[in-house]
Amino acid sequence: MRCLISRSIVLCAGVVAAAACGDDGGLIDGFTEPEWETIETLSPLPDPPPDPTNRYADDPAAAALGQALFFDPRSTGPITFEATPEEGALGAVGEEAKAACTACHDVTRGFIDTRSNPPATSLGTGGWLGRNTLTLVNSVYYKWSGWQGFIDTYWGHSLLGIESAVAANGDRLRAAHVIYDHYREAYNEVFDPDLDPALDPSHPEASRFPPVGKPKAADAPDGPWEMMTPEDQAHVTQILVNAGKAMNAYLRRLVRRNAPFDRYVAGDTSAISTSAKRGLKLFIGKAACVECHQGPMFTDDKFHNLGVPQEGLHVPAMDRGRTDGIARITGALKEWSTAGPHSDSTEPSPVEGLTATDADLGAFRTQGLRNVADTAPYMHTGQFETLREVVEFYNEGGKTEGFVGTKDELMKPLNLTESEIDDLVAFLESLTGEPLPAELIEDTSAP
């Protein structure tokens, strides 16, 4: 008799009636050995990969500072877009300090944006951001950040939101003063050099650091930033970068694992329902989901055009997806990437030599499926409110119009029955991990 041993746990010892070994073809709880080998590639979720771009990535003191900054709205500027409470307005036009990271990444709702009713793309200080907010839970495992992969450092993504006129409408001088006024001791404990004492508004040289300001746009007149010395500009920019790296250290801790599916793979055959097991067989077989949703994060970390039409509330008429992401990361945002001067990595950057292809047009990153039941609405447009709608979309093979580019050849009708769709949904619901520790969703910002 031949049994498959999974992580030192024998699964074929008659724990369930459907499980059998050797004599009846080597089935493991109804799966063939090749199927089970595929299933084992999906679990468990390993420790987060190292981040050579951020030397503070695993520094507990940096993570503590990053958590406080994540909850602190004081680096954000005035609201310039009028919206209603139902749309998720952050406040009235002109109000400041209303857009902490938690505004679009609600820690009580899976770190996504659920403010608007009905669900819509995310709303910032300056208008609609045009895409569904991605969860930050388990984001440490991705190579590229955002739906379009516009940056490849998560500390870069963190600081970009601060200075975006649409997202938070803040600036690096404002952020530097907030850190000096409220987090000076914590910052100086982690980073070198210490904050310049002239950031204190009562300092004799306080005029070196105006209250607000950032580098001007190419066609704009000079502002407070351009009046500063290059040395002071570099100091403030480094403060912003370090703030991003501290928040990255915090985000690296937002990992949910040990889902019912993981317990099932580890040997607990009762951890998921019979329907979920049927869904798992479809996932790795007839539905071919595993072609793109592979590995422990259930993603190939690549970009695909799924034929998702630009429908839903407050989505642009056209979205070029990865094509625009590549233009941004190799252009205006390169400074904050692995190829920029602020990366701590000495390894070759994937940004160097990166160019868009025809396949990138209208393509978006394959989203990991862990905790997917907690992150509705779905797709980059946020047009689907339930997992069943998503599976039905894939079952149809995507749409034929309403998007740019060419739909991926993998998007074909699946011919699933209604009950098979139910089973796939049941499996997806089994991917919800244990809750994050309470201390990681606590507002630790300074008063």
Residue 312: how many CA atoms within 13 Å on its side-chain side? 29
User: Model confidence over 283-316: pLDDT tens digits?
Assistant: 999 999 999 999 999 999 999 999 999 999 999 9
| Mean pLDDT along residues 159-175 | 94
DSSP class per residue in 38-72: HHHTT-S--PPPP-TT-TTTT-HHHHHHHHHHHH-
**Alpha carbon distance 66, 58 (integer Å):** 12
Counting residues of the chain whose pLDDT is more than 70, the rounded percentage is: 94
The pLDDT tens digits for 23-78 are 445 799 999 999 999 999 999 999 999 999 999 999 999 999 999 999 999 999 99
Kindly report, residue by residue over 183-211, the tens digit of the pLDDT.
999 999 999 999 999 999 999 999 999 99
**What's the pLDDT at 101?**
96
Collect all residues with Cβ–Cβ distance below 8 Å to 283 and sequence separation of at least 6.
Answer: 289, 290, 293, 424, 427
Q: Give the pLDDT of residue 118.
A: 87
Query: What's the CA gap between 66 and 54, in Å, rounded?
Result: 13
Backbone angles phi, psi at 412, to 5 degrees: -135, 155
In this prediction, residue 427 has a pLDDT band, given cuts at 50, 70 and 90, of very high
Nearby residues of 145 by Cβ (< 8 Å), 6 or more positions away: 139, 151, 152, 153, 154, 156, 157
Report residue 439's pLDDT band, with 50, 70 and 90 as the boundaries: very high
Which pLDDT score is estimated for 25?
58
Average pLDDT of the chain, as a whole number: 93
The confidence band for 4, taking pLDDT boundaries of 50, 70 and 90, is very low
If we measure between CA atoms, which residue out of 282, 298, 311 comes closest to residue 394? 282
84-97 mean pLDDT: 96
Give mean pLDDT, residues 381-387: 96
188's enclosing H/E stretch is: helix 172-190
With a CB cutoff of 8 Å and minimum separation 6, the contacts of 66 are 243, 245, 246, 247, 248, 249, 250, 251
pLDDT at 8: 37
The tens digit of pLDDT for each residue in 210-227 reads 999 999 988 899 999 999
pTM of the model: 0.93
Q: Which two tokens stand for residue 438?
A: 């309470």
Q: How far apart are CA 98 and CA 227, in angstroms?
A: 28
Classify residue 196 by its DSSP letter.
Answer: P
pLDDT at 120: 87
Q: Is pLDDT at 235 greater than 70 in this prediction?
A: yes
pLDDT tier for residue 21 given thresholds of 50, 70 and 90:
very low
- Token pair in block for residue 266: 């580890």
Closest by CA to 147, choosing from 100, 139, 155, is 139
CB atoms under 10 Å from CB of 96, counted, come to 18
Domains and CATH numbers, the chain: 60-255 (1.10.760.10)
User: Do strands 5-6 and 9-10 pair parallel, antiparallel, or not at all (unpaired)?
Assistant: antiparallel
Alpha-carbon span 128 to 125, nearest angstrom: 9
Does the pLDDT of residue 20 top 70, yes or no? no
